[in-house]
Amino acid sequence: MWVILDDQLTPRQRSTSFRADAAVVFGRALLAGTHSLDRPTDGEHGRALDLAERYVQSGLDLVDAIVMAMAATRGGLILTWDFRHFRATVPARRRHWPLLVQEHEVPNP
């Protein structure tokens, strides 16, 4: 199963929720093969650019658009805290992005 990680969840971005060494732990997990990073294909990159252009008024950035395009192509779930952009855009008519965690499941800080 693919889980597409939004950049808002990286230790660098969510420093209040992670210990100072979380980036190193995550990096070591990547090296060990526990997790992997993958780049978008040319088709996914093109779809992301189309999404970013289509939703330019919503403030959708290219990183979120790439996450959306990769999830759509690969049938993956999206893990994000940035619900605003993932609710303001749609992959197709009457469909929503497949989010691994819903807003009501996020614990209060």
pLDDT at 15: 46
> Is residue 105 over pLDDT 90?
no
- On the question of pLDDT at 16 being above 70, the answer is no
Mind giving me the DSSP string for the chain?
A: --EEEPGGGSTTTTGGGS-TTHHHHHHHHHHHTSS---PPPHHHHHHHHHHHHHTGGGT--HHHHHHHHHHHHHT-EEE-S-HHHHHH--SSTT----BSS-GGGSPP-
Q: Considering the domain 3-104, what is its CATH architecture? A: 3-Layer(aba) Sandwich (3.40)
Domain residue extents for the chain: 3-104
Q: What is the pTM of this model?
A: 0.75
